[in-house]
């Protein structure tokens, strides 16, 4: 009989009343939860006099031996896990003698489940979600380290206490990783379906990566307020366990930082091999990615992503194709690669359903290269000329889709077909299949005396058939044969479809000059072969023969552009636009393209987009227009619109290899990495089927970039190296340089700086040999990035300047802004603040002009930091406050914390000590949640400095020790120097002169290693001051007197203030009243209040010694008033510390 008078023999575990006693030890307080196999009560452990949680087996749950075994299993496994983020299990009680209840006692957590929090609040703030994610990772890692899987990780099994700490509970379905499978018995999968990994749902053998998938689902829900597969049907569930990944969480919550979305999506990879290897890796990715890539830091330390190049081949005109049907990658599965899962290759494209609405009603026509049947090689140029004429005339019809001659030439090259071999029945079918066309024109010509005879065969390829529909034969005098060929276009159009408009064709639409056309045709062949110099020469001869030959100007510009001479390309387009005037061709497709290309070269992205959209409306079935529109959107940074345009191109050209590659790139820019891998997997499969080495290399390079962005650096390296090997083999020099550049960027990210520099310089040499200016510019940017990271600031500046000189004419405003920002950062680090301000302002103006929100944020921070060093405190405060507003709007917590910390420094320098303390602690809280150690060390250093200023040595030492501990791990030499300087000041205050001297020397050595001018002059001033006080006073004074001039050159206000104060402390130094007054006014201009206070006290003492009583009194009164102002906001203990500091 219990104390409450109730018999235990008939107790219902679902309805235990408050006060019920179990096992003579536990008094029930309240029911706090119920799950699939048990109920949980809060109870009082009367022996230990503490509250516990009791989990009882449900009365309606089978109480067989296996169930009891599972409860024992929970206890045995969970007790192996001892961690602050895992609920502790105390004991298992099987009360056979009493009520027959079975229950587990465990620690009681005063709080609530994550499920209740999500039901009440919906999505969590990003900072709060990140903090919980890190704690959950720590708990899972502890379990996995002792071989324990949770297998039922979900919000219901996560508790959050009143302090916000997370606890993992309910290892009721946990199973040792040494177990043989994922099922408890055949056909029974243990766990909660909504939070199961695909392999768990399939009943396969599990490891820790299964829990990471469940963790990813929980993280997704915390960040978005929704399940990743909400309202999932049975069919959709089956699809998920077979490999479907949920959508990007930023589609629901745009405030989620890109890096965090990437981490969650990697946890949700359907293939376990593509997830993180451990919960510890997830935690490191959350912490390290922010600290490593640092995309939203204050401009002094921000690291803009290196410039990457996607393709070694010339992307604009070279087109590869993908065969339809299911494709396999078996022959290219390189050892150690995490290649694209097979379902990517077999799955239909999302654009398949769109094809019916975008394909032209009249179909598409392919014009094959003409064959020269005569033995006269002097007529070879006519092959290209005739093909261009027919394509130009047929493409004017809006109802037809007519692929470009360059596209067809590339396809035949990919298929390893000569122009002759392409005419066989089987190969014509293959061409039709790859190009998704329903008609093919195949022409030939031969010289007969003074005439030229030619024949064009029209093949109908609808429904996979091949029927020679009709043959057209013509002949004419050599001097008029081109006009005759052009005149065939109306007949061909009528034969293709009688309802098509019958327009009169004028050959003069291209040129009436045979010489011009001949050079134009030869130039096109040079362009296709990559002989850009030769191509330019022939296009120049073409326009000399016909100054109104618009197409020749356009192709000349294209050749210059791909050759890397953008200035010349722009001039050629200007001539083409001039030639268009009064031509009456404004409505034609090539005219739209020409004007749009000119707009692009002029960096008028909106104008180019508008022209391409007009062209797409006029010619809705032209895939090239959609590709060009997609490229323009990409340049503008609108990846979503670019994807939409390329999807339309894919609907028209489902087998186009380059469309897949471009889509992959755009999906990367949109941070949709799984979509990118799908498209790149198709491109890689296509290149394998075509046995196209160039295609393989380009796709592998692009996959390397994707994996670099996903922080899978080992995989990225293997892809890049594989691409490099192929490019070396086929002699693709530009491609080799591109691969070397990407490998260099990768090594730099891994801090393999010597290897990175070696690869980058090798790539630079190749780009210079090729006279590829854009490539040289990108390499110089990346080398500058590397030199900055390794403290070689002058070399970094030289590299960025060279990149800028090359990039300026190219018109890429976003890149120019990056370069201006980088140069501003280097000038900042070199202590040349006016120059730094100039470049940061230029970057800001450029970013505001193109609407780059993230870039504007970085520029605000860069300017704020620059103003801080110049003691322009109001300007610094305004810029960092604006940065905080923007970072909060964008959801960038780290950027918010960085500018908050900088505002704290403004408050400290202006003597608002309590405001500084509060602000530093606010920033510290965010950095602690994010786990960014280098930033935490900076905050601890600033707190140590602040407490030292106000005379609280004990707190200063406490924070200094914390800063030292973190700095030793992050190895930031500038930070180490500043910490050592504070350590020296504390030792000096304790009278430990030699120890202080040693600390200041360490500060100087670290500053010299860092190359950071501010840290260097600060250490030099500290050493000079020590000499004045405890060494050679003359030497110390000379050192101090030199430093103000250097500080003046830098505009480093605090360094100037320190020198003036320290010189005032030297009694022997002759400083007259006029000089004292000038120095005092300078300090007042800086508004560095602490230095004002110290200087005014020293000036009062000096005036008293020299008998200038009135001046002494004036300085003393000023100091008294300033002291009251500075100490007014401090607590009484800190106010007393501050008073003692200045009395001494």
- Report strand pairing: 89-94 vs 102-107: antiparallel
What letter does residue 155 receive in the DSSP assignment? G
What letter does residue 809 receive in the DSSP assignment? G
Exposed, middle or buried by CB within 10 Å (0-12, 13-18, 19+), for 254? Answer: exposed
27, β-bridge pairs: 21, 44
What string of DSSP letters covers 637-685?
A: T-HHHHHHHHHHHHHH-TTBHHHHHHHHHHHHHTT-HHHHHHHHHHHHH
Measured CA to CA in angstroms, residue 405 lies from 365, 383, 524, 530, 917 at distances of: 12, 11, 10, 16, 69
Q: CA-CA-CA-CA torsion for 1026, 1030, 1033, 1036, nearest 10 degrees?
A: -20
In the sheet that 158-161 helps form, which strands lie side by side, from edge to edge? Answer: 111-113, 158-161, 166-168
Angle between helices 893-909 and 126-145 (to 10 degrees): 110
CB 410 within 8 A of CB 420: no
CB contact set of 681 (below 8 Å; sequence gap of 6+)? 329, 339, 340, 344, 345
CB contact set of 61 (below 8 Å; sequence gap of 6+)? 37, 38, 67
Exposed, middle or buried by CB within 10 Å (0-12, 13-18, 19+), for 426? Answer: exposed
CB 627 within 8 A of CB 662: yes
Exposed, middle or buried by CB within 10 Å (0-12, 13-18, 19+), for 841? Answer: middle
Sign of CA dihedral 37, 39, 40, 45: negative
Does 698 participate in catalysis according to the annotation? Answer: no
CB 954 within 8 A of CB 935: no
Task: Give the whole-angstrom CA distance, residue 374 versus residue 380.
Answer: 9
Task: Give the whole-angstrom CA distance, residue 432 versus residue 422.
Answer: 11
Task: Give the whole-angstrom CA distance, residue 451 versus residue 454.
Answer: 10
Give CB contacts under 8 A, 24+ apart, made by 502-509: 503/396, 505/393, 507/389, 507/482, 507/483, 509/392, 509/393, 509/585
Catalytically annotated residue among 12, 60, 95, 152: 152
Exposed, middle or buried by CB within 10 Å (0-12, 13-18, 19+), for 1068? Answer: exposed
What letter does residue 630 receive in the DSSP assignment? H
CA 1142 to chain centre: 50
Measured CA to CA in angstroms, residue 247 lies from 482, 611, 971 at distances of: 55, 33, 39
Q: What length does the chain have?
A: 1144
Measured CA to CA in angstroms, residue 122 lies from 226, 585, 890, 911 at distances of: 8, 58, 19, 42
643: Cα within 13 Å, side-chain hemisphere: 17
Token digits for 836? 């730094």
Task: Give the whole-angstrom CA distance, residue 719 versus residue 426.
Answer: 35
CA 355 to chain centre: 32
Token digits for 879? 């810029």
Task: Give the whole-angstrom CA distance, residue 145 versus residue 211.
Answer: 13
Give CB contacts under 8 A, 24+ apart, made by 844-851: 846/813, 846/814, 846/816, 846/817, 846/820, 847/814, 847/817, 849/813, 850/636, 850/637, 850/813, 850/814, 850/817
Task: Give the whole-angstrom CA distance, residue 137 versus residue 346.
Answer: 35
Residues annotated as catalytic (active site), given as ranges:
152
């Amino acid at each position: 009989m219990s104390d409450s008078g109730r018999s235990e023999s008939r107790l219902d575990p679902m309805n235990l009343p408050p006060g019920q006693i179990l096992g003579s030890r536990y008094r029930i307080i309240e029911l706090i939860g119920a799950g699939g196999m048990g109920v949980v009560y809060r109870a009082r452990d009367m022996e230990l006099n503490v509250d516990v949680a009791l989990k009882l087996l449900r009365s309606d749950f089978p109480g067989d031996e296996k169930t009891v075994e599972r409860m024992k299993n929970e206890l045995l496994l969970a007790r192996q896990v001892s961690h602050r983020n895992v609920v502790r299990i105390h004991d298992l009680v099987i009360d056979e003698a009493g009520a027959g209840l079975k229950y587990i006692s465990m620690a009681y957590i005063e709080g609530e489940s994550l499920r209740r929090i999500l039901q009440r609040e919906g999505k969590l703030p990003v900072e709060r979600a990140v903090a919980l994610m890190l704690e959950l990772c720590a708990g899972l890692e502890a379990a996995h380290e002792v071989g324990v899987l949770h297998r039922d990780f979900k919000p219901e099994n996560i508790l959050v206490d009143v302090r916000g700490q997370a606890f993992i509970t309910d290892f009721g379905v946990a199973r040792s990783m040494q177990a043989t499978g994922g099922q408890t018995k055949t056909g029974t999968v243990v766990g909660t379906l909504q939070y199961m990994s695909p392999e768990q749902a399939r009943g396969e053998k599990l490891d820790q990566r299964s829990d990471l998938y469940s963790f990813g689902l929980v993280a997704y829900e915390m960040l978005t307020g929704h399940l990743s597969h909400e309202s999932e049907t049975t069919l959709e569930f089956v699809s998920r366990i077979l490999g479907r990944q949920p959508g990007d969480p930023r589609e629901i919550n745009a405030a989620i930082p890109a890096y965090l979305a990437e981490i969650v999506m990697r946890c949700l990879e359907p293939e376990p091999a593509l997830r993180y290897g451990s919960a510890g890796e997830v935690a490191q990715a959350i912490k390290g990615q922010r600290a490593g890539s640092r995309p939203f830091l204050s401009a002094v330390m921000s690291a803009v992503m290196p410039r990457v190049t996607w393709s070694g081949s010339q992307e604009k005109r070279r087109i590869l194709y993908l065969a339809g049907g299911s494709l396999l990658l078996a022959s290219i599965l390189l050892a150690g690669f995490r290649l694209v899962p097979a379902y990517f290759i077999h799955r239909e494209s999302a654009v398949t359903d769109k094809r019916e609405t975008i394909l032209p009603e009249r179909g598409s026509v392919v014009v094959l290269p003409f064959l020269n049947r005569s033995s006269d090689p002097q007529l070879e140029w006519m092959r290209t000329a005739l093909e261009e004429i027919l394509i130009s005339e047929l493409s004017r019809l809006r109802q037809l889709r007519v692929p470009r001659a360059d596209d067809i030439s590339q396809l035949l090259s990919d298929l390893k077909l000569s122009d002759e071999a392409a005419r066989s029945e089987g190969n014509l079918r293959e061409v039709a299949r790859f190009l998704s066309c329903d008609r093919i024109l195949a022409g030939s010509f031969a010289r007969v005396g003074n005439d030229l005879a030619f024949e064009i065969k029209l093949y109908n390829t609808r429904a996979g058939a091949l029927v020679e529909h009709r043959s057209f034969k013509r002949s004419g005098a050599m001097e008029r044969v081109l006009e005759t060929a052009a005149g065939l276009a109306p007949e061909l159009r009528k034969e293709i479809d009688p309802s098509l408009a019958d327009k009169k064709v004028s050959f003069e639409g291209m040129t009436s000059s045979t010489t011009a056309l001949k050079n134009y045709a030869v130039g096109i062949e040079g362009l296709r072969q990559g002989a850009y110099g030769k191509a330019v020469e022939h296009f120049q001869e073409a326009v000399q023969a016909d100054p109104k030959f618009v197409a020749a100007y356009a192709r000349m510009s294209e050749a210059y552009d791909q050759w890397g001479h953008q200035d010349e390309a722009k001039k050629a387009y200007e001539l083409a636009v001039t030639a268009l005037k009064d031509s009456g061709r404004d409505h034609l497709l090539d005219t739209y393209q020409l004007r749009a290309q000119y707009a692009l070269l002029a960096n008028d992205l909106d104008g180019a987009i508008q022209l391409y959209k007009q062209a797409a409306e006029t010619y809705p079935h032209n895939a090239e227009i959609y590709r060009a529109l997609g490229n323009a959107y990409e340049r503008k940074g609108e990846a979503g619109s670019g994807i939409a345009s390329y999807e339309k191109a894919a609907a028209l050209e489902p087998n186009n290899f380059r469309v897949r590659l471009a889509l992959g790139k755009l999906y990367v820019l949109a941070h949709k990495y799984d979509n990118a891998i799908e498209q790149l997997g198709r491109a890689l499969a296509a290149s394998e089927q075509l046995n196209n080495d160039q295609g393989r290399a380009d796709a592998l390079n692009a996959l390397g970039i994707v994996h670099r962005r996903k922080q899978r650096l080992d995989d990225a390296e293997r892809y890049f190296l594989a691409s490099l090997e192929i490019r070396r083999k086929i002699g693709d020099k530009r491609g080799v340089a591109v691969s070397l550049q990407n490998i260099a960027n990768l090594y730099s990210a891994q801090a393999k700086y010597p290897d990175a520099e070696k690869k980058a310089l090798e790539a630079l040499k190749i780009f210079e040999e090729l006279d590829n200016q854009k490539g040289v510019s990108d390499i110089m940017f990346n080398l500058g990035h590397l030199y900055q990271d390794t403290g070689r600031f002058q070399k970094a500046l030289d590299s960025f300047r060279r990149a800028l000189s090359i990039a300026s004419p190219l018109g890429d405003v976003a890149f120019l802004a990056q370069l201006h920002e980088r140069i501003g950062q280097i000038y900042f680090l070199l202590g040349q603040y006016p120059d730094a301000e100039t470049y940061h302002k230029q970057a800001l103006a450029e970013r505001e002009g193109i609407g780059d929100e993230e870039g504007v944020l970085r520029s605000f921070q860069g300017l704020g930091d620059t103003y801080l060093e110049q003691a322009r405190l109001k300007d610094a405060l305004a810029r960092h406050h604006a940065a905080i507003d923007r970072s909060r709007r964008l959801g960038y917590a780290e950027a918010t914390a960085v500018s908050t910390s900088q505002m704290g420094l403004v408050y400290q320098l202006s003597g608002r000590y309590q405001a500084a303390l509060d602000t530093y602690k606010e920033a510290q809280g965010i950095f602690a949640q994010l786990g960014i150690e280098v930033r935490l060390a900076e905050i601890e250093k600033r707190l140590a400095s602040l407490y030292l200023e106000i005379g609280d040595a004990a707190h200063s030492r406490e924070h200094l020790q914390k800063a030292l501990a973190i700095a030793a791990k992050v190895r930031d030499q500038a930070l180490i120097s500043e910490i050592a300087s504070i350590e020296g000041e504390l030792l000096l205050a304790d009278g430990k002169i030699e120890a202080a001297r040693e600390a200041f020397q360490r500060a100087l050595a670290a500053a010299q290693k860092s190359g950071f001018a501010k840290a260097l002059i600060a250490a030099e001033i500290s050493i000079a001051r020590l000499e004045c006080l405890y060494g050679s006073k003359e030497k110390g004074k000379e050192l101090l007197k030199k430093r103000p001039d250097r500080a003046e050159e830098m505009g480093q206000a605090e360094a100037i203030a320190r020198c003036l104060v320290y010189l005032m402390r030297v009694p022997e130094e002759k400083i007259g009243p006029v000089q004292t007054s000038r120095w005092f006014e300078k300090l007042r201009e800086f508004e560095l209040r602490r230095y004002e206070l110290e200087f005014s006290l020293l000036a009062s003492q000096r005036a008293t010694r020299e008998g200038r009583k009135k001046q002494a009194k004036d300085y003393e009164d000023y100091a008294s008033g300033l002291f009251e102002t500075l100490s007014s906001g401090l607590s009484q203990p800190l106010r007393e510390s501050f008073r003692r500091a200045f009395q001494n």
